[in-house]
């Protein structure tokens, strides 16, 4: 019988299968970011700030791209959005510069921080100042080992914030398979798993970090799930798990 939750390797295989089927990562990211934005908007409406101030912390990979797409939607829907984007320091390898531009064009304030930037603390203070909701899209399911450098610094800063925290796919710093945090890890109030439930998020060890779990479809074809030994998701989402 096919599995309900995806391991790190299955998550990678699922994305690769979708690509071979003709559904590129950029298309999945567009839907994923919309789902993140929808849940973020719902969380804001349930609180005291229906539109609210939102901070998006975006990493270098697809997870960061999901956060930036969410930022674009939230800014369009009327929230005040600030984005902090981590880059490698090389323009050609920067984290989703096209998505960062789109977010800025929609009204979000975007600042980039490259590796070794001495202003990382000041940038973290800027993006997290007086926000109602933080979207953690720093690290995705492919991350292995304890976070280092600027990522670890930002995780610690997120955890000092009093804002509600929404993690994309899994809290940054949490192992995608074991659910163990080997070092710094975001303490999320909500975690939105995209496309498939994540094995690590459902481990007993992860309960301290993930908060309330949600699942949302992102348009991966049914055949891809079956190829990877997974049950196709029935969560149009975001749906609570």
pLDDT, tens digit, 9 for 90 and up, residues 110-129: 998 887 788 899 999 999 99
pLDDT band per the 50, 70, 90 thresholds, residue 94 = very low
Q: What is the mean pLDDT of residues 217-228?
A: 96
Q: What's the pTM value of the predicted model, to 2 decimals?
A: 0.94
pLDDT band per the 50, 70, 90 thresholds, residue 89 = low
Mean of all residue pLDDT scores within the chain: 92
Q: Show the tokens assigned to 64.
A: 């960061």
In SS3 terms, 173-226 reads as CECCCCCCECCCCCCCCEEEEECCEECHHHCHHHHHHHCEEEEECCCCCHHHHH
Q: What is the mean pLDDT of residues 84-92?
A: 70
Which one has a higher pLDDT value, 49 or 236? 236
In the block, residue with structure tokens 């998701």: 233
pLDDT band per the 50, 70, 90 thresholds, residue 70 = very high
Question: Whats the size of the chain, residue-wise?
Answer: 241
How confident is the model at residue 125, as a pLDDT?
95
pLDDT, tens digit, 9 for 90 and up, residues 179-192: 999 999 999 999 99
* Max CA separation in the chain (angstroms): 51
pLDDT, tens digit, 9 for 90 and up, residues 132-184: 999 999 999 989 999 998 999 999 999 999 999 999 999 999 999 999 999 99
Q: Is the dihedral of CA 73, 74, 79, 80 positive or negative?
A: negative
- Give the percent of the chain with pLDDT over 90: 80
Backbone φ and ψ for 85, nearest 5 degrees, come out as: -115, 120
Q: What is the mean pLDDT of residues 88-101?
A: 65
- Looking at domain 5-240, which of 2.30.30.20, 3.90.79.10, 2.60.40.10, 3.40.50.10260 is its CATH number? 3.40.50.10260
User: Which stretch of 89-103, 113-127, 186-200 has the lowest confidence by average pLDDT?
Assistant: 89-103
How confident is the model at residue 92, as a pLDDT?
39
Domain ranges of the chain: 5-240
pLDDT band per the 50, 70, 90 thresholds, residue 1 = very low
């Amino acid at each position: 019988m096919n599995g309900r939750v995806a391991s790190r390797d299955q998550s990678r295989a699922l994305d690769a299968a979708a690509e071979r089927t003709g559904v590129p990562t950029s298309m999945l990211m567009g839907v994923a970011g919309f789902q993140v934005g929808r849940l973020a908007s719902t969380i804001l409406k349930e609180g005291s700030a229906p539109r609210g101030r939102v901070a998006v912390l975006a990493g270098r990979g697809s997870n960061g791209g999901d956060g930036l797409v969410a930022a674009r939607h939230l800014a369009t829907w009327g929230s005040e959005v600030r984005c902090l984007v981590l880059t490698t320091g090389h323009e050609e390898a920067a984290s989703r510069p096209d998505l960062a531009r789109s977010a800025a064009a929609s009204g979000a304030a975007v600042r980039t921080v490259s590796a070794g930037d001495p202003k990382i603390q000041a940038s973290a203070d800027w993006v997290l100042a007086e926000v109602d909701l933080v979207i953690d899209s720093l690290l995705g399911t492919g991350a292995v080992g304890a976070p280092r450098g600027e990522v670890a610094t930002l995780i610690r800063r997120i955890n000092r914030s009093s804002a509600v925290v929404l993690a994309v796919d899994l809290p940054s710093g949490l192992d995608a398979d074991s659910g163990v945090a080997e070092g710094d890890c975001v303490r999320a109030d909500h975690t939105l798993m995209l496309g498939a439930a994540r094995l690590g998020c459902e481990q007993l060890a992860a309960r301290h970090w993930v908060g309330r779990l949600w699942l949302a479809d992102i348009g991966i074809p049914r055949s891809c799930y079956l190829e990877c030994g997974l049950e196709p998701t029935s969560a149009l989402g975001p749906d609570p798990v």
